[in-house]
Chain A
């Protein structure tokens, strides 16, 4: 596609429910990142996918968070048993190769946990 696409753009859920966030990277981009941005704060790294290599999950805050990506296509970030502290904008970015390529970001998913 022309850009990184994320859906939904907004998600309101009740505490304890599971949510799935989707990211469609730019076609041909082998690397994909998920970040979290809480209100008024910087971007917090969550997970990084590169081609068929094992993902770098070192930023996932708890075992309630998981992410999948099939090959070089769509990625899904799942948050189980959501908590109010999970409320944030979840941003996805993709890049053409592993290193020295500009990151292209989607517009994010605003998650609100009531």
Chain B
């Protein structure tokens, strides 16, 4: 059974800082891993999808890396802004049955 852990659970940083969010998963048999953003009272938005054959994906100020064999992924946010404040969720898709399982998330607050 896939278990996903995200560290830290919460993070508060001043505007402009670069930061790293960590995700680990127990079953390395995955098709891909997605990073999502969730804003309070709203649904989830997919930020980046890294396929199992890839090492990283970039979108604007976001960079996600994947080390499938060790069961780890990181999301790097450059030059953080108050608008980045949200909960960030990591979600690997299992190769066995296509289920996508979520971590509990990292709650990020960027202070102006």
Task: List residues of chain A with CB within 8 A of the CB of B70.
Answer: none
Inter-chain contact B99/A100, CB cutoff 8 Å: no
When distances are taken between beta carbons in the complex, the residues of chain B under 8 Å from A31 are 98
Q: Which of B32, B46, B89 contacts A100 (CB 8 A)?
A: B32
Q: Is the CB of A108 within 8 A of B43?
A: yes
Residues A17-57 near B (CB distance < 8 A): 31, 33, 35, 41-43, 45, 48, 50, 56
What are the 7 tightest A-B residue pairs by CB atom distance, in nearest-first order? A42-B104, A43-B102, A105-B43, A102-B46, A99-B31, A105-B44, A107-B43
Given A100-B32, A100-B51, are A50 and B43 also a contact pair (CB < 8 Å)? no
Bound-complex Cα distance A99 to B96 (A):
11
For B34, B95, B99, which residue has the most chain A Cβ atoms within 10 angstroms?
B99
Query: If A99-B93, A100-B49 touch, does A42 touch B32 (CB 8 Å cutoff)?
Result: no
* Complex alpha-carbon distance, A50 and B100, angstroms: 13
Complex contacts, B51 vs chain A, CB 8 Å: 100
- The total of interchain contacts (Cβ-Cβ below 8 angstroms) comes to 59
Known contacts: A100-B49, A102-B49. The answer to whether A48 contacts B43 by CB under 8 A is no
A interface residues, how many (CB within 8 angstroms): 26
Let me know if B97 is at the binding interface, CB within 8 A. Answer: yes
Q: How far is the CA of A97 from the CA of B91 in the complex (A)?
A: 17
Residues of A within 8 A of B71 (CB): none
- Point out the residues of chain B lying under 8 angstroms from A104, CB to CB: 46
Per the bound structure, the CA–CA distance linking A35 and B99 in Å amounts to: 11
